[in-house]
Amino acid sequence: MTLDTHSGAPARPAEPERPPAPTSSTSPRFWRRPWIIPLLLVVVGFIVYQVTPYVPERTAPTPPHDGFPAYYPLLVVHMITGTLAMVTAVFQVWPWLRKRHPAVHRALGRVYVVSALVGGVIGLIIVRFAPPVGQIGVAASTTLWIATTAAAYVMAVRKRYDLHRRFMLYSFAIVMNNIWGVLIVNVLMRLPFDVGFTYMLEGARWIGWVVNLMLVQWWLYHTAGRPLDIPRPKKKVRV
């Protein structure tokens, strides 16, 4: 107890801070609801839609590749690695899995990196057999996919998790570009007016990954002040 120097009376002890009153429970806003299942369903649906026509080889809608018999085997490897990359990417951006099961997150991350690098390099090999329209867009996005994935892995090894998160989100944005391409082509083909094939294919090859990167960059700016919330390794208790 202390004296109040102004009144000469003993000062009242400071009252303990009261906990804040509980707020009324409200339903979460729509952008905070679980999104992992819808994203996974979209990815699985896209993979089934894209891969099914290419099996078996005799009915596959492949472009002419005379003099390059390795085209179809490389295409199959590209589809397998691309499938692994897209599926594992969904789980890599799932906060719950990253926080609760970091070992699984790291294991799937290695699968994603290998799939992206192998699938990306093969994509650059076979892209020269694709239609000339859109080749530059495909080559640019694939090159960026390889570069951002490799950078994300290097940053993780160096424990620069802030840069690992940034480059991994860039890589995620680029790999999800494939979904945009199918959507753009199917929408434009069903319009009541004709859209030139050149504009349609170029749009499908560029718009998706450019828009995705812009959205990811906005998200990085929006969440710049948030902690990374990296799970710490459990300490071993000595007996």
Convert the pLDDT of each residue in 135-169 to its tens digit. Answer: 999 999 999 999 999 999 999 999 999 999 999 99
Name residue 10's beta-bridge partners: 3
The pairs formed by 157-166 with CB atoms below 8 angstroms and a separation of 24 or more are 161/228, 161/230, 162/228, 165/228, 166/220
Q: 């202390």: which residue's tokens?
A: 2
Q: Give exposure, 188-205, as e/b (b: 16+ Cβ within 10 Å).
A: beeeeeeeeeeebbbbbb
**What's the whole-number mean pLDDT along residues 78-105?**
93
Residue ranges of domains in the chain:
35-222
Radius of gyration of the chain (CA): 26
Q: How far apart are CA 92 and CA 97, in angstroms?
A: 8
Handedness of CA 76, 209, 117, 107 (dihedral sign): negative
Residue 74 has pLDDT above 70, yes or no: yes
Q: Where are the beta strands (DSSP E) in 47-95?
A: none
Reduced to 3 states, what is the DSSP secondary structure of residue 3? Answer: strand
CA distance 143 to 121: 8
**Residue 131 and residue 201 in contact, taking contact as beta carbons nearer than 8 Å:** yes
pLDDT in tens, 29-39: 544 557 788 89
Determine the pLDDT at residue 232: 57
